[in-house]
Each structure stands twice: as structure tokens, then as C-alpha cells.
Amino acid sequence: MVKILPAYLYLYTQKLQINLILIMQRRSAIKNLTLAVGGLVSLPAWASRWTPDSIGKVSTSVVSEDNQMILAEIVETIIPETSTPGAKSLKVNQFIMRMVNDCYGEPVQSNFKKGLTLIDDLAKQSYGKAFTSCDALQKADVFNKMRKSDDTSAKQFTNMVKNLTIQGYMNSEYVLVNLLNYNMAPGFYHGCVPIGK
């Protein structure tokens, strides 16, 4: 035998179910908001409007001095010096090293080391000399060969270096202040100014 609830009891139970759903959605929204704010707070403060001085000395535990020179040449290949400073002049390679040291785990760091060795080996194989000794066109050719290769770790390396180079260059203090006219607090208020007739 099926009992039929009176209409007011049925509506009351439906209202309770809706309230429970709203409370659960509110909880998940608060949790997601807390995670988002925590993520923003934990983002490295130097990753925006950075200078080589603000980054400080980069540890050579992940990459040797020779590989750091290779990295400097790679970033110069991606953003060369023209009428504006290139990525090497702005020391974007230090930015990349700091990001790899501080923000990436061991698998990415080992792939990064492997990629630096691989690009130097590819330059020696293609042109008979180290990557740092190649001219600009040869460096670009080696980088593009590596980017288009079938090796997934080589593609991941070139994509990561390219993305970090662009991020580091566009967030450098020189580019933000001199090229993009970045103001920390735009729209200044000038109160008492004389009015022209």
C-alpha cells in the first residue's frame, strides 16, 4: 500500500532538498575560491616585472654552466636582439632557470637537462660544431629541427623553453616599462590644477 503525502508535506520536503543542494553548492564554491586565492598568493612574486637582480643567483644544481650558456643562446634564437634588447640581453635565461628550479618537479627538470644536451648534440651532428658556436641561422635551424622531431621529450623541451622565454621577456621590467608603458597604478588623480581660459 502506497501512502500519499499531503501536498504541503510534499512541497516542504522538496524545499528541504533544494536548500541542501544550495548549501552543498555554496560549500564547493567557497572551497574553490579558497584554492584559487591560495594559488594566487603562492605564485612567485618575482614572476611579474622581474629584473635579473630580483631573481638573484640561480643554482647550478639542475643545469651546469655550459648548459646555461646553451640556454642563453636558445633564448636569443627565440627573441633576437633588434632595435630592442633581445632575450639574452634581458637575461631571460636566468628567469627560465629560476622557474625550472623553483616551479617544476624532477621529471620536468630531467627532461630540461636532456633537452639542453640533445640540442647541442643535434647541432654537432648537423653542423659539426657546438650550438653556442653556430651562427643565428644555424641555431634557428637546429631549434626548428628539434621542435619538429618525432621525439616527444624534444618537443616538450622546445615548447617549454619557448613559452618560458616569451613569458619571461614579456614580464621583464624593461619590456613592461619601456615598451608597454606599464604603470602600477594607472589613472592618476590631479586635484588642484589650473583651468585654462
Task: Enter the pTM of the model.
Answer: 0.67
Contact 140/77 with Cβ under 8 angstroms?
Answer: yes
1-17 pLDDT, tens digit each: 555 555 555 555 666 66
Question: By percentage, how much of the chain surpasses pLDDT 70?
Answer: 69
59-107 pLDDT, tens digit each: 666 678 888 899 999 999 999 999 999 999 998 998 898 888 888 889 9
Domain ranges of the chain: 7-43, 46-179
Residue whose C-alpha cell is 627565440: 78
